[in-house]
A and B are shown apart, each in its own frame.
Chain A
Amino acid sequence: MVSLKDVRKIYQMGSEQVHALDGVSIEFAQGSFWAIMGPSGSGKSTMLNLLGCLDRPTSGTYTLAGEDVSQLEDDDLSAIRLKYLGFVFQSFNLISQLTVRENIELPLFYQGWEPHECAARAIEMAERVELGDRLGHRPAELSGGQQQRVAIARALANDPRVILADEPTGNLDSTTGDHIMKLLGELHQQGKTILIVTHEEEIAAWAEHRLHMRDGLIDRID
Chain B
Amino acid sequence: MTNISKFTRLVRLGIKTLLLHKLRSLLTMLGVVFGVGSVIAMLAVGTGASEEAQSQIRRLGSQNIILHSVQSQQDQTTDRVRMSIYGLTYDDEQRIRETIPTVRRIVPAKLIPHEARVGGRTMELRIVGTTPDWFDLVERELIAGRRLHQRDLATRANVCVLTERSARRLLATETILGNRIRVGSNYYEVVGIIRSETGGTAGGVQTPDQEVDAYIPLTTARERFGDIVMRRSEGSFERSMVELHQLVVEVDELENVESTAEAIEQLLRRFHPREDYRVSVPLALLRQAEATQRTFNIVLGSIAGISLLVGGIGIMNIMLASVTERTREIGIRRAIGAKRSQIIGQFLIETIVLSSAGGLLGIAVGVIIPQIIEYFAGMPTIVPMYAIVLSLGISVGVGVLFGIYPAIRAARLDPIVALRHE
Residues of chain A at the chain B interface (Cβ within 8 Å): 49, 52, 54-55, 74-75, 78-83, 85, 87, 89, 93-95, 97, 106-107, 109-115, 154, 158
Contacts and interface: CB of A to CB of B under 8 A. Distances in A.
A110 to B, nearest CB: 5
A135 B329 CA distance: 20
A97 B20 contact: yes
A52 B332 CA distance: 13
A109 to B, nearest CB: 8
| B-side interface size class | 20 to 34
Contact of B338 (A78, A80, A83, A94): A78
Which among B6, B17, B342, B419 has the highest number of chain A CB atoms within 10 Å? B419
B68 interface: no
Contacts of B328: 93
Interface string B66-93: 0000000000000000000000000000
A82 B337 contact: yes
Given A54-B415, A89-B419, A95-B329, A112 B336 contact: no
Given A54-B419, A97-B20, A112-B6, 19 more contacts: A52-B335, A54-B334, A74-B339, A74-B340, A78-B339, A79-B337, A79-B339, A81-B336, A81-B337, A89-B419, A93-B332, A93-B335, A106-B332, A106-B336, A109-B9, A111-B337, A113-B1, A154-B336, A158-B337
A78 B9 contact: no
Interface in B402-422: 415-416, 419
Contacts of A110: 333, 336-339, 342
A174 B335 CA distance: 27
Contact of B17 (A49, A55, A97, A111): A97
B295 to A, nearest CB: 50
A95 B332 contact: yes
B340 A75 contact: yes
In the A-B complex, the 10 residue pairs with the smallest Cβ-Cβ separation, listed nearest first, are A82-B337, A81-B337, A78-B339, A112-B1, A93-B332, A54-B415, A75-B339, A107-B336, A95-B329, A78-B337
Interface in B330-359: 331-342
Contact of B335 (A81, A113, A114, A158): A81
Contacts of A93: 328, 331-332, 335, 419
B190 to A, nearest CB: 79
B6 A106 contact: no
Nearest to B335: A87
Which among B336, B339, B419 has the highest number of chain A CB atoms within 10 Å? B336
Contacts of A115: 9
Contact of B333 (A74, A75, A106): A106
B416 A55 contact: yes
A112 B20 CA distance: 25
Interface string B293-318: 00000000000000000000000000
A36 B155 CA distance: 122
Contacts of A106: 332-333, 336
B416 A54 contact: yes
B189 to A, nearest CB: 84
Contacts of B341: 75
Contacts of B334: 54, 78
